[in-house]
Structure 1
């Protein structure tokens, strides 16, 4: 699936009054992207060449406006969606943000919101700066230190250290692009890599003086929030005269070393940037990204702090409602492809429903997220039960219409003979019974009558009982013995009707049994999904523990033992969370919720899944 998008569009408009607004055109583009998205956002001071790198990531020479003056050219956040050059079935979403620190704007709060949105929406954040990574560069990156005041993880969270410890769950990978770099990559007389250059710049100073705290703060934030870090340096691309028209300069006129550095940068971003996810490991599609943008912007415009948990809950409402609709649509589509009504037996019909239900559930489980209370799965169960009842009604109707038509056609001759008085003669009753028997035999040979075949036949035979009784009374040649046999036949019919009642009871039991099967299928697929969610969470926890352990070792090497001690506490907390996730109650509590709801949706089901009450995904935010 490719979204034709020849040029970027504005995603977040920044008005002259400093008001940020989501643009509907961009949301319409995102709404059409059902693929997972890899979101690369770029941020940095204005007029530092951010747009050039984004154009190269898009595989184009132009697109995002570069500008050629000292004024900031990009306003707000602009978006360009292109097919991912390395990941089939994924869309690369590039976000070019307004240059930070524009002296004409003079609104640092506005800049901080733009930076926070780039962090919240991106799966990779490219920070673009000029010259070297020195104290001035760190001071210019003060937006990182302010994120704790502009992003909340949970509704109950009030920011600060405890809340910010969770940032790593959803913060993007961090790439620092240093432009117009002129120094030698050497440290203590030895050549170092770009990554070593960055890590050396991020080293903390031991001590607790005010000056040390100010020095350490941006470095601590970068290390804590962005454990996945990468650095690229770029030489000046061309002479000063050509910098103002960089997108028009032929590549042959650019510095070969610069071109090689840009190529390495693009390869790294394309090959290592992961699909955007939300806590719990759920992969974000384009449509979901648009919903997140709207939720975050609604919070900012209302004066609140954007909250990840609130955004995920709002997204879950939208995604899960759509998942129910899509699952029901799949059920109907499968039914249209498989159903040949009427079916010969009720078992065939229920098996048809079961096959379509399984496919619908697979789609629902693949799409849904954070349905903690089972509300949306309960709604799906209810709608599929209604679809089954409608299917049964249509099957009954199709069978009744086909059987009625067959009876009408086959009994026409018999009706004609009754009207003509053919049986109002001696021996007429015996002849009537034989003709009726032959008609019934022909009816039973008609194929594809469905489950109403016997009911329609019995209704027809009952309609002829009065006629038969009249013929019996007028037939003067019948012996008393034959009359006695006729009475016995009447008794047999009564017994047959009683048998029909028993069959109806059996059908009811069959329906109740199918509801139990449906309930068990819901539990089975939900348990499979929860096992998958558990695996994703444990992988996420494991990565976080590994990152914290790595950071702990670095802090010990740098002699910052107080920070290292706090890191141990964070590691211990993450390990405790992993232990909780692995407990049986993590899954059984959700199964219990569905079990409790099932009797209200499927009256034939008696809920009974055991397990501790509670909600499982909420543990992510504790």
Structure 2
């Protein structure tokens, strides 16, 4: 990729849709993917963080210098992971939440939920401090239990405790932070500052419960959480041109935090996984995105369990096709040499069957009852029966052609009446014996050859 592409866009009627161009890119990524998504209120500098993670200062994710939100939908950038060999890094820059021109809280909730569902690391970007207002602005976290289900059961069960098994690592990036990291006069770390902000109040009054709810949700859904506080990057009058500033024009403390932030994301972000520890590849990520978006657009609630079942079906069906292609490709190449000795055809069949099974196993997922492996074996056996028929037909045709060629002389002599003259019978027996010997000799050569 030489530039970001839109992964999830919004249609004129307000529905999300996955862009085929992005799907085509993801379909080609066979490696496991680390997916890092950034969410937050609009005009808080989310895209700048993604550009830093992408290793670029400008020209990748769109930055804006006005009050207008620049990023629309969810944009994607894929690249080799800088630290994890054999792994791809997928960066997702999301549309700013709370855009006054948009005025659609449901749309914002969908964007937030999609970022949670697709990422292995979720970065929440905000400005100022982590105070009550900042936490209240992260209202979307309180709606996750209504917008995402873990199990497909129709029973009214609270499965929110299960979310932690599937939800991403959480990073709170606080921009333009100017306070001292002190609590009750003591120096604290950024993580201690975050935990202090998430501390619950005692009591059961409505006001206390409303205060505690978003904090409880963050604690429950994102037990693995980290905080980074970024000072102002430069003088206020230069902020509008942040992406064009040289490194020397940026505050040294800001650069130090930004470097630590990128290092942490690269080293601690894990490969995206589904239930049972199945590692998500780019191809699977694209299928997940489409499935989640289609589910939301239909008015239904995305279900993590159903996602695993759907991905298993998609991957196993594709694994069967890939295994069959390996087998068919090898047998079609062998078919050119038909007819062959049955033993040789059977040996090649067994070798290609093993290769097909290995190909299937590399891609198959949760084929617990062996249904798809059995389907592969049945298809291979059906194909083998067909190739045996082709080999038999080729053998028959070759025998017919050989006999026709060898018998041409006898036919000519028969037509001339040579076998009807005295001594003709002895001549006929000799010619017939010669034909048999030539046929045996020719067929033995072909078998050995």
Fold-level match, TM-score > 0.5?
Answer: yes
1: CA distance, partners of 2:431 / 2:11: 90
Q: 1:41/1:429 Cα in 2 relative to 1: closer, same or farther (>3 Å)? A: same
Q: 2:356 aligns with which of 355, 360, 365?
A: 360
1:3-54: CA deviation from partner (whole Å, max 9, x where unpaired): xx22222222235764333333323333333333221110011111100000
> 1:344, 1:448 within 8 Å by CA — same for their partners in 2?
no
Is the 2:335–2:391 Cα contact (8 Å) retained in structure 1?
Answer: no
In structure 2, the partner of 1:402 is 398
Q: How does 1:434-583 map to 2 (within 5 A)?
A: 434-446=430-442, 447=444, 449=446
* 2:303 aligned residue: 307
* Aligned counterparts of 2:156 and 2:101: Cα–Cα separation in 1: 31
User: Match for residue 169 of structure 2?
Assistant: 173
Asked whether 1:345 is paired with 2:306, we answer no
Residue equivalent to 2:73: 76
Report whether the alignment pairs 1:153 with 2:135.
no
Q: In 2, are the aligned partners of 1:341 and 1:398 still within 8 Å (CA)?
A: no
Which residue number corresponds to residue 242 of structure 1?
Answer: 238
Say whether 1:391 aligns with 2:387. Answer: yes
Return the offset for 1:310.
2.9
Instruction: State the match for 1:229 in structure 2.
Output: 225
Aligned equivalent of 1:199? 195
Task: State the partner residue of 2:327.
Answer: 331
Q: What are the Cα deviations for residues 233-285 of structure 1, in whole angstroms up to 9, with x where unaligned? A: 21111111111111111111001221121122112222222222221222223
Structure 1 residue 443, shift from structure 2 partner? 2.0
Aligned to 1:213: 209
Structure 2 segments unaligned to the other structure (5+ residues): none
Match of 1:353, SS state, is helix
Match of 1:260 in 2: 256
Q: CA deviation at 1:107?
A: 2.3
Task: Decide which structure has greater helix share.
Answer: 1
Contact 2:149–2:303 at 8 Å: present in 1 too? yes
Q: Tell me how far apart the structure 2 counterparts of residues 350 and 392 of structure 1 sit (CA, whole Å).
A: 9
Aligned residues: 446
Cα deviation 1:535-559 (Å, max 9, x = unaligned): xxxxxxxxxxxxxxxxxxxxxxxxx
**Contact 1:38/1:91 (8 A) holds in 2:** yes
Deviations 1:294-326 (A, max 9, x none): 222222222221222333333333333322222
Q: Summarize deviations over 1:512-562 as a string: whole Å, max 9, x none.
A: xxxxxxxxxxxxxxxxxxxxxxxxxxxxxxxxxxxxxxxxxxxxxxxxxxx
Q: CA deviation at 1:288?
A: 2.3
Cα deviations by residue, 1:173-218 (Å, 9 ceiling, x for unpaired):
1111111222333445554333333334334445544444333322
User: TM-score, normalization: structure 2?
Assistant: 0.90
Distance 1:280 1:84 in 2: 24
- Give the match's secondary structure for 1:103: coil
Root mean square deviation, CA, Å: 2.7
User: Looking at CA atoms only, which structure, 1 or 2, has the larger radius of gyration?
Assistant: 1
Q: Which residue does 2:365 correspond to in 1? A: 369
Per the TM alignment, residue 344 of structure 1 is displaced from its structure 2 partner at its CA by 4.5
Unaligned runs of 5+ in 1: 452-622
Q: Which structure is higher in RCO with an 8 Å CA cutoff and minimum separation 6?
A: 2
Q: Which residue of 2 aligns with 1:140?
A: 137
Whether the 8 Å contact between 1:403 and 1:449 is mirrored in structure 2 is no
Q: CA deviation at 1:126?
A: 0.7
Distance in 1 between residues matched to 2:227 and 2:240, nearest whole Å: 25
Any residues of structure 2 matched to 1:22-37 within 5 Å, and which? 22-37=18-33
Alpha-carbon shift at residue 361 of structure 1 (Å) = 1.5
TM-score by length of 1: 0.66
Give the match's secondary structure for 1:354. Answer: helix
Contact 1:176 1:230 in 2 (8 A): yes
Q: Any idea what SS the aligned residue of 1:165 has?
A: helix
* Contact 1:185 1:194 (C-alpha < 8 Å) held by counterparts: yes
Compared CA separation, residues 432 and 348, structure 1 to 2 (3 A): same
* Superposition map of 1:100-139 within 5 A: 100-139=97-136
CA distance in 1, matches of 2:344, 2:15: 61
1:310 and 1:122 mapped to 2: Cα distance?
A: 18
Choose which of 19, 26, 40 in structure 1 pairs with 2:15: 19
CA distance in structure 2 between the partners assigned to 1:417 and 1:384 by the alignment = 50
CA contact (8 A) 1:282 1:369 kept: yes
